[in-house]
Amino acid sequence: MATKRDVYITEVALRDGSHAIAHQYTVEQVRAVAQALDEAGVPYIEVSHGDGLAGSSLQYGLSRTNEMELIEAAVSVCRQAKVAVLLLPGIGTIEELKEAANIGAKMARIATHITEADISAQHISLAKELGLETVGFLMMAHMAPVEKLVEQAKLMESYGADTVYVVDSAGALLPHEVRERIRALRENLQINVGFHGHNNLSLAMANTLVAIEEGATRIDGSVRCLGAGAGNTQTEVLVAVLDRLGIQTGIDVYKMMDLAEEIVAPILQAPQEITKDSLVLGYAGVYSSFLLHAKRAAQKFGLDARDILVELGKRKVVGGQEDMIVDVAAEIAKKREKAAAH
């Protein structure tokens, strides 16, 4: 008998959570987590490097284990859950997508910056050709006005996406901003709408509930908040909250509590909490990958890294523009020198 679900949850601890453990997952860990999630009734489990297929590199962090082995391990233990993969065009290629499909991935999530949906066309259409359920993932959704979001989501829909997600990569969106974005997509798309939250401002749960209220039926969560920055909407808590609200996820609350405590908690190097580092990412609205660069630049120029990050946020600097971090730091330092001289 098919499980009744009002909301379909994708568990991202084995992908987004990779950031939190420096991409050190082992085959045994992935197998244990995926099997427990499958038994708990989670419908989708995302497995890839934190930065998606082919993310393992000096720039993004080297994986301990080849991600195709991790995907294969998850596929081997899932009886009902579908294994999903993330691909960022420009990092992953259609070759990795084909390989993932060959070893049993059933969902492809194609991720682009909020204004760059056009670079996802060939990846989304190939994913459909390969018979994969296909998701368009619009990252850093706080960085563009609602009209732009709608325009970009419609592009992904036109390429064949089954679902388009509002992705709050920096954990910077406030609940009313999530509400207007999800509502606009529901009004303008014929396909499913999804939401992926981060907890840098402690709003992941609130934002997720607002998204569901507005009609998002595809939601991401991460067990034990295991994800980049301060992590994602905590899956086991989300399942309990939705159960209390009478919203069906088809997921066993007790089993989620148990696997979070017994299987995932021991993998965590430190508990996921909102530190000043993750808080400033949400406050400034910048990529988590900027943090280390900003700290280095701050040291070099005798600045507070937070001032650099806030300025980067104001200038809407995006991933791939890391070289601007030093320039911005130098500018701030120069301005301060001038001000001190007067």
Query: Which residues are annotated as catalytic?
Result: 19
- Is 120 annotated in a binding site? The answer is no
Instruction: Say which DSSP state 57 is in.
Output: B
- Is 169 annotated in a binding site? The answer is yes
In angstroms, the CA 5 to CA 15 distance is 23
Tokens in use for 16?
Answer: 């987004």
In angstroms, the CA 312 to CA 308 distance is 6
- Is 179 annotated in a binding site? The answer is no
Coil vs helix vs strand at 89: strand
Q: Are 91 and 60 in contact (CB under 8 A)?
A: yes
Coil vs helix vs strand at 219: strand
For 103, counting Cβ atoms within 10 Å of its Cβ (0-12 exposed, 13-18 middle, 19+ buried), the class is: middle
- Is 123 annotated in a binding site? The answer is no
Q: CB-side exposure of 236: number of CA atoms within 13 Å?
A: 21
Cα torsion angle, 136, 161, 132, 2, sign: positive
Instruction: Say which DSSP state 170 is in.
Output: T
The set of residues, in sequence order, having a beta carbon less than 8 Å from that of 39 and lying 6+ positions away, is 255
- Which positions make up the binding site for substrate? 15-16, 169, 196, 287
- Which positions make up the binding site for Mn(2+)? 16, 196, 198
- Which positions make up the binding site? 15-16, 169, 196, 198, 287
